[in-house]
Amino acid sequence: MSNYLVTVVMLSVVLLTGCSNTNGRHQHYGDVDHEHAVNIAKGMLGVPYLYGGETPETGFDCSGLVVYSYQQVGITLPRTTFDQYKSTLPIGKHRIRPGDLLFFRISRVRISHVGIYLGGNRFIHAPSTGKVVSIARLDNPYWLKRFIAARRITGRKHF
């Protein structure tokens, strides 16, 4: 009986390992399909910045882009950058994966900007008035100096 149990456990581990993705190509961890959300955000490249904007038709601000991208994959996030920060889990900079949120201090406010990490030290964001949704480099001195934290979305609703 115990040999049977050991065999079942070992077989389960092998099967689960076989289903896991170790190549880093598909980012689906927890209940969140981060890869799909990242692709949604990439589809918004070139959409104009609009303060308070949260649709491709009107434009996006930084937190509106995040809300929209994750809403398309069934994730409900708070509307403001600070509330998004508070409702997600902290992760070390060395553990950032595509789909994680990056938070920055642009103005006096401690947390005033958010972007979605793409991988390869790049993130997508809605920068500011007069600009469009675009990709920036985290290792750019401007962003590196203003980087506050990386945080992870982990479930369906973050309120």
Mark whether 125 is an active-site residue: yes
The SS3 assignment for 47 reads coil
Which of left, alpha, beta for 144 (phi over 0: left; psi -120 to 50: alpha)? alpha
Mark whether 113 is an active-site residue: yes
Please tell me which residue in 19, 34, 94, 113 is annotated as part of the active site. Answer: 113
Please tell me which residue in 26, 34, 125, 158 is annotated as part of the active site. Answer: 125
Mark whether 28 is an active-site residue: no
Can you give the length of the chain in residues?
Answer: 159
Please tell me which residue in 19, 28, 36, 62 is annotated as part of the active site. Answer: 62
Own/partner pairs for 92-95, CB < 8 Å, 24+ apart?
92/150, 93/147, 93/150, 95/150
Which of the residues are catalytic?
Answer: 62, 113, 125
